[in-house]
Amino acid sequence: MRNSNRQWVLRQRPEGDISDGDLELVDAPKPEAGDGEILIRTIYLSLDPTNRIWMSDMDQYMPPVEIGDVMRGGTLGVVEQSNLDGFDVGDIVVPGLGGWQDYTVSDGTGVSKIPAGLGIPLDAFMSVLGATGMTAYFGLLEIGQPKAGETVVVSAAAGAVGSTVGQIAKIKGCRVVGIAGSDEKCKWVVDDLGFDACINYKKENVLEALRRECPNGIDVNFENVGGEILDAVLTLINDNARIPLCGLISTYNAEGDVPGPYMFRNILMKRARVEGFIIIDFLERFAEGQAEMGQWLAEGKLKYRTDIVDGLETAPKALDRLFTGENIGKLLVRVSDEPAA
């Protein structure tokens, strides 16, 4: 048990890739829970492409992290002190955005408890049953609205969200074509997750490969990447295609403005619908999504994979794995050990 609270603090806004000096690891006193509060020890820290957005002073869906503040991030932890009714020491909780630190003090607002005795690994609640899983579930089903027999294309297919999207689309009876950045990733999503095909964009011309794998065109494109990959997909969309816009990771480290898609005209010509969304739009419906996703997980219809890096001190370097394509599945930092069973 630590007697201090390590915190990653934003010291300057990155220009392009995150570099040394943008974040600083500081040692703060271990906090105490006051009246009506709980002290949460962080077990897992979620690393997500949006972390890079939060570091930038740009228009976004919530205020950027201020210079000198603890870096924002989703966490899962255990209650170590409780002065708040409804929470006991030992409860496993998801405090929302607990931040890149060892401990979080909360008044309970936005904190959800994970029921004991479910027999589900805790990392599932940071992946397939957490915010990334809900991103896949609501983004695909509410915005993409896939129908049996349609073709669904998923970029960043081996990532936490994309790998889940493809499996849900298969459950719904669709042909699923993934796009990923290595043969290993493509093999995983096809052989283990059941995708019908996967294109390695680093080895093939994406447009030509999509023509081969999507002979009937593209009905739904779950977009995580943007850039040239989005252009290739837009070239082949069918009439009334739906495009849930979840991310644009190819642009997050860019310096300066990035041009929009060259095939933007097809959104008009094909009467396509493009809708951006943020998972907080669906917070009030998480229980609905978790119930169905949990059932699919129990039935073996849904699989997940976590890429766990040990130590809070590794967080900035580990985040780079999302942008270099090194990780497969949900990227987490194990900040401390899970409680003994």
**Residue range(s) in the chain whose domain bears CATH number 3.40.50.720:** 131-280
What homologous superfamily does CATH list for 4-123+305-334?
Answer: Medium-chain alcohol dehydrogenases, catalytic domain (3.90.180.10)
pLDDT surpassing 90 at residue 265? yes
Cα-Cα-Cα-Cα torsion 117, 121, 126, 127, nearest 10 degrees, comes to -120
What is the reported pTM?
0.92
Helix axes 227-235, 206-213, angle to 10 degrees: 40
Q: What is the pLDDT of residues 154-210, one digit of tens each?
A: 999 999 999 999 999 999 999 999 999 999 999 999 999 999 999 999 999 999 999
Cα distances from 217 to residues 174, 191, 244, in angstroms, run 13, 23, 17
Q: What is the pLDDT of residues 193-205, one digit of tens each?
A: 999 999 999 999 9
**Residue range(s) in the chain whose domain bears CATH number 3.90.180.10:** 4-123+305-334
Q: Output the DSSP codes for 204-240.
A: S-HHHHHHHH-TT-EEEEEBSS-HHHHHHHHHTEEEE
pLDDT surpassing 70 at residue 1? no
Domain 131-280 has CATH 3.40.50.720: yes
